[in-house]
Amino acid sequence: MSLIDPSRRLALAAAGLALVAAPALADEDKDKKPKGPGQEKETPAVEDLMREHGVLRRALLVYEEISPRLGRDPAGLDARPLNQAARLFRAFGEDYHERKLEEAHIFPAVKKAGGPAAAYPDVLKAQHDRGREITEYILNVTGSGKVGSGDAGPLAQALGRFVLMYQNHTAREDTIVFPAWKLALSERQIDELGEQFEDIEKKTFGHDGYEDAVRQIARIEQAYGLTDIRQFTAPAPPKK
């Protein structure tokens, strides 16, 4: 017959389990120790999607800057960086970000969740398809490194329409679709998908696709003299 009170026996057992678990919990806390300045940190899934949009927006800014140059002096324009921008938009934007993330994971979840945001995925997918048509056109017209005089006007018009479409497209995704997707899933699901997205990125590019895309767009901007953003500072408004 045991001389230890049953309630005390349970308390002792719980204390023993706590002692056993303590080292493991300590190791886990050690792994989760906040990282300091200069150390690489985890990027949340939604933030990752939006910074990828940042790369694509920089490509759109290249298109926007080059469009009027086509009207002024198409023969003097080096079209090779423009072709590289289209290739970047194709590989990083259309084939990876759109097909493998948005269309495969985000749009279905938003549609399934319902609500106002559910009306967007079909329109956004149609815009993806149209964008791919325009990208193919840009690649074909700029493939030789020069733009013929007969192609300059239509290309400038195509670039302008592409920019306008994607400015509206990415703005709605960032402010409506991505927040709805985040709301539709649990925090654990978001974290798991974030890890899955990282795996997709590495399998697609064999390395950090985002960092490489940033380097590529920086070289394209440099080729067209767009690196110094001070040149885009708006002038002062007229004085009354």
- Is 25 among the domain residues? no
Give tens-digit pLDDT for 8-37.
Answer: 555 544 445 444 444 544 444 444 566 565
Residue 211 above 80 pLDDT?
yes
Flag whether 57 is in a domain. yes
- For 69, list phi and psi in degrees, rounded to 5: -65, -30
Give how many domains the chain has, as a whole number. 1
Q: What is the pTM of this model?
A: 0.83
What CATH code is carried by the domain that includes residue 191? Answer: 1.20.120.520
149 assigned to some structural domain: yes
Q: Is residue 218 part of a domain?
A: yes
Complete DSSP assignment for 109-172: HHHHH-SGGGGHHHHHHHHHHHHHHHHHHHHHHHTTSS--HHHHHHHHHHHHHHHHHHHHHHHH
pLDDT digits 0-9 by tens, 68-124: 999 999 999 999 999 999 999 999 999 999 999 999 999 999 999 999 999 999 999
Q: Evaluate whether residue 133 is within a structural domain.
A: yes
- The domain of 202 spans 45-224
Q: What spatial distance separates the first Cα and last Cα of the chain, rounded to whole Å?
A: 99
